[in-house]
A = this chain, B = another copy of it.
């Protein structure tokens, strides 16, 4: 019964090529829409994709469409008749329709909206109003609403009547006449209760909600905290306007982690899968930071040139040797801290109010870490490097002491920058990592040069 996906794909190809369309249709009914979309994209050319899509059973078509990538979606829509387009759009969950519209060029959007059912169009337009990154932008109004005076049996009847078009039926929302959210009840509660029990008696009336304008990342964190399958979204008056389902929360969690990782690595966020990114979009995402960081490295050049003569006077070429090691270690130490703090902020573990606790913790850690690394460096300089170069105890002491200082300095910068960014409502991931390296580079160079010249001069 359980077949490898490749075997299934071979069968699909075979049925398609030999025009056994009835078999093809039966086979697709048993497959996941994501796999069918995958098959279309990787095994068929553009013409075949359209032909294949038209062969899909009606109830599957829009689910498969949603799973294809943006380019395929655009191509398919352009090839669709108005009627086909209308069917696909009307069958889609509204949040998926909104996602689609946000990715399509203006003329395609126009055609989509023109062909959508008037009621759907109204709701889609309302959803499009919510800013990106808010709960409103990822919610769907397709939830099951019950009233507190229903019996469990009546509630099940309503679910049976309307459930087919709801994104989830397992969590149902109880609202009053003004659409105010008054409680939540799960199908599990209902199945385990008596049929004649009133919803009012089994519903949970303390409901965790999100507001329409809440950050979608915060919404996703609620899913990981509470293990919900769905979360109701209310407006300022407490009226239920939509729900976010766990599958969308999973997408948000993945996307936000990817974005943060990209930002930490000095890449502008790019949502497309790597292999589908064009060279041009890669260039656009990477060149700003690469240029900015190249130009800001001017500061390190200025410092080196400023101290150059004095450094050579007191230590000859020897002192230059340690510059990359000192700058590198400072960068690594700072990065360890900033990345840790950025992630803790993203997971909601650390807020700006914790700033002093974080600084205290980091300074203690920095001191112990710095001491360990400085002692190791001193021993290495005295017993290993000394075999090749003549390193005096004074120089070894200077280098080790500077190492300790720069580690403490780097970790201080590394924990303060993301917290300040957060406080100023900037993105900690962007301000911190690449900026930080430059600041830490400059500071560590100044510390090294000034101490070396002061002691040896």
- Residues of chain A having any CB pair with chain B under 8 Å: 1-3, 8, 30-32, 34, 156, 159-160, 163-164, 169-170, 180-183, 187-188, 191-192, 204-209, 223-227, 229, 234, 238, 246-247, 249-251, 253-254, 257-258, 260-262, 264-267, 273-275, 277, 279, 282-283, 286-287, 289-291, 293-295, 297-298, 300-302, 304-305, 308-309, 312, 317-318, 320-325, 327-329, 332-333, 335-336, 338-341, 343-344, 347, 349-350, 354, 357-358, 361, 364-365, 368-369, 372-373, 376-377, 380, 385, 388-389, 403, 407, 434, 437-438, 441, 445
Contacts and interface: CB of A to CB of B under 8 A. Distances in A.
B309 A325 contact: no
A26 to B, nearest CB: 11
Contacts of A339: 261-262, 264-265, 267
B274 A350 contact: yes
B191 A156 contact: yes
Nearest to A267: B336
A238 B343 CA distance: 39
Label chain A's interface by main secondary structure. Answer: helix
Nearest to A407: B290
Contacts of A181: 1-2
Given A1-B182, A289-B332, A297-B325, 11 more contacts: A249-B250, A254-B347, A267-B340, A274-B343, A274-B344, A283-B365, A290-B332, A291-B373, A294-B373, A295-B376, A297-B324
17 contacts: A1-B180, A2-B181, A2-B234, A30-B205, A169-B188, A223-B250, A229-B229, A265-B340, A274-B344, A282-B365, A290-B369, A291-B372, A293-B328, A294-B376, A308-B320, A328-B437, A328-B441
Contacts of A324: 297, 300-301, 304, 323-324, 327, 441, 445
Contact of A323 (B312, B323, B377): B323
Given A31-B206, A224-B250, A376 B291 contact: yes
A369 to B, nearest CB: 6
A217 to B, nearest CB: 12
A226 B34 contact: yes
Contacts of A403: 294
A258 B169 CA distance: 32
A205 B1 contact: yes
Contacts of A340: 262, 265, 267, 274
Contacts of A254: 224, 253, 257, 347
A206 B388 CA distance: 68
A28 to B, nearest CB: 10
Contacts of A347: 254, 258, 273
Contact of A250 (B159, B253, B336): B253
Contacts of A262: 339-340, 343
Contacts of A372: 283, 287, 291
Contacts of A308: 317, 320-321
B322 A274 contact: no
A274 B341 contact: yes
A281 to B, nearest CB: 10
A344 B282 CA distance: 14
Given A250-B246, A266-B335, A343-B258, A293 B191 contact: no
Contacts of A445: 324
A410 B347 CA distance: 32
A283 B361 CA distance: 11
B441 A350 contact: no
A376 B297 CA distance: 13
A445 B328 CA distance: 14
A361 B280 CA distance: 11
Contact of A298 (B208, B227, B325): B325
Contact of A170 (B187, B204, B279): B187
What 4 A-B pairs are tightest by C-beta distance, nearest first?
Answer: A265-B339, A227-B247, A297-B325, A257-B257
Contacts of A328: 293-294, 297, 300, 437-438, 441
A60 to B, nearest CB: 12
